[in-house]
Chain A
């Protein structure tokens, strides 16, 4: 296990290193770093000074060294707009995004698994067909349009739920959360559902195919022969077996949720880091864009790493296969 973790960790570091080169190449080699890193309204003297300070008169290799050194020390540049270190801006917004993502993840499991079980146990019935077609529709509804329709129906027409912002935010155990008050929760429902719909479809399909694969197997027949109720067979024995692929896919898809949170946050004006990214792109606040990129890549590497470890803990066969 230790060997496995070390191997995975070194792979992750390699990916991070490669990404830093790509990002660096993207900003410094392809684009003009002066445009990207210096505010457009700077005077000529300020430009000259900044070019010196940023080391843009040095060779590419030296520049990369400086870039890497600064990044390793948490210095990813200052935002032109807020005049704060861009890394602080992003870390300040991150809890809101994570809260949204976790609630969406919870929704996708809480809705997707029962739907998948329901249709998987009645293969080729009308209900199964409806759920499966519904899940394709879930895949096909573009996230942003579906969000707009939610706003139109529940905020504009029915007036049930607020459409923008985060509502009341409390601090619980050092974390800022909006799950403690109705104002907070009501602001969370629409964006969380918007973000979850795609994953609900995915979890439904995964669960359904898992059920259909497992139901004809011997252990189910054995459980039936033992006289267990069908309910217990499905909810304990079958569910346990289909959790492995679901946990893995959901783990990997958590990254996708964070990526799509960019869209959701833009539509619902949710004050997370995704909205910050889009705002920064629009305002040409490039240090924030660069910092977001590096933070998100790191986040992804951590997620993939944790999922790999979880997976090998859940299914020992994987661990043996990888270490061999």
Chain B
């Protein structure tokens, strides 16, 4: 049975291995459930949020800066208080979670695509292509993420698309390096030789056969990178060079509360911050567990 099991099957068992690994650790299971919960809340957000905090008809400036649990003019309760414009914090946080998660996931996935392709190409072709790509990777990784993203945004200005582009720019190199490392090991194995002998196209060998076997380290990095991207976006938005006020993420909500923190209106920045930490922390716990299960060599 072992003799006929093709390496390609690893791709299927990867999900099982990852899932089993997570379920075996109570800590990771709870974190995983939290992650799913956050995604669900983000998706159905507009239907469960008490109000649409960006619909001017629904908010009243008379309700500004109310403390948690107080009543609105209309009689509804603001469980987490309101911000300077009279928006319900709970609703604002649900909408912010949507933006933060979307930015993290989209930029992570695009970076994964670009980085994986370049890493595979570098490993498969070797020689000058490899040197060129890896030099670029070294150059990128030589500078801290936040600095590169900040500089890029300082030069090109702010906006949702630009923030995502900046986050892709700072993330792809990690994926490329990981895939290249894994692919170099896989490349010398017999199934690649067999595929070449069968006359399969290069694209098919690269993406159909090499890639599935390089997935474990990718899954680990992808998970951790989504957390990093969310955190980076929040930081950039806090510094005022990330998302514009029209696309409020959790980082921007926290930033709004920064000015009034000294005067004791803690809830405007504390609650969105707690949500952000819970989100990033859960993703990181799951990622850390995946690293233990799938890739013991990657230990930090």
Contacts and interface: CB of A to CB of B under 8 A. Distances in A.
Task: Identify which of A137, A139, A266, A282 gathers the most chain B CB atoms within 10 Å of its CB.
Answer: A139
A2 interface: no
Interface residues of A, number: 44
A255 B143 contact: yes
B115 interface: no
Interface residues of B, number: 40
Given A27-B155, A152-B270, A209 B299 contact: yes
Given A136-B284, A139-B284, A140-B284, A202 B300 contact: yes
Contacts of B258: 148, 267
B199 to A, nearest CB: 38
| List of 5 A-B pairs having minimum Cβ-Cβ separation, nearest first | A259-B147, A259-B144, A140-B281, A145-B273, A26-B155
B266 A15 contact: no
A133 interface: yes
Interface string A170-211: 000000000000000000000000000000001001100100
B154 A142 contact: no
A249 to B, nearest CB: 9
Interface of B: 27, 139, 142-144, 146-147, 150-151, 154-156, 227, 231, 234-235, 238-241, 251, 254, 257-258, 261-262, 264, 266, 269-270, 273, 276-277, 280-281, 284-285, 288, 299-300
A202 B143 CA distance: 17
Given A209-B299, A255-B144, A149 B227 contact: no
Interface in A299-318: 300, 304
Contact of B262 (A156, A266, A289): A156
A140 B266 contact: no
B277 A263 contact: no
A25 B154 CA distance: 14
A151 B273 CA distance: 14
Task: Identify which of B231, B264, B285 gathers the most chain A CB atoms within 10 Å of its CB.
Answer: B231
B261 A151 contact: yes
12 contacts: A142-B273, A144-B235, A145-B273, A152-B266, A156-B262, A259-B147, A260-B144, A262-B239, A263-B239, A277-B150, A289-B154, A300-B142
Given A259-B147, A304-B142, A140 B240 contact: no
A259 B151 CA distance: 11
Contacts of B270: 149, 152
B261 A142 contact: no
B261 A152 contact: yes
A97 B287 CA distance: 33
Given A145-B254, A278-B239, A209 B234 contact: no
B273 A148 contact: yes
A142 B276 contact: yes
A293 B151 contact: yes
Contacts of B227: 140
A163 B261 CA distance: 12
A31 B155 contact: yes
Contact of B273 (A149, A259, A263, A282): A149
Contact of B147 (A156, A267, A296): A296
A141 interface: yes
A54 B220 CA distance: 49
A247 to B, nearest CB: 16
Contacts of B280: 140, 142
Given A144-B251, A156-B261, 16 more contacts: A30-B156, A137-B281, A140-B227, A140-B231, A142-B231, A142-B235, A142-B238, A142-B276, A163-B262, A205-B300, A206-B300, A209-B300, A259-B150, A262-B147, A281-B240, A281-B241
Nearest to A262: B150
Given A30-B155, A145-B254, A145-B277, A259 B240 contact: no
A259 B154 contact: no
B206 to A, nearest CB: 28
Nearest to A257: B144
A31 B238 CA distance: 24
A211 to B, nearest CB: 12
A188 B143 CA distance: 26
Contacts of B300: 202, 205-206, 209
Contact of B146 (A27, A139, A263): A263
B235 A136 contact: no
A267 B151 CA distance: 19
Contacts of A278: 239-241
A144 B233 CA distance: 12
A145 B269 contact: yes
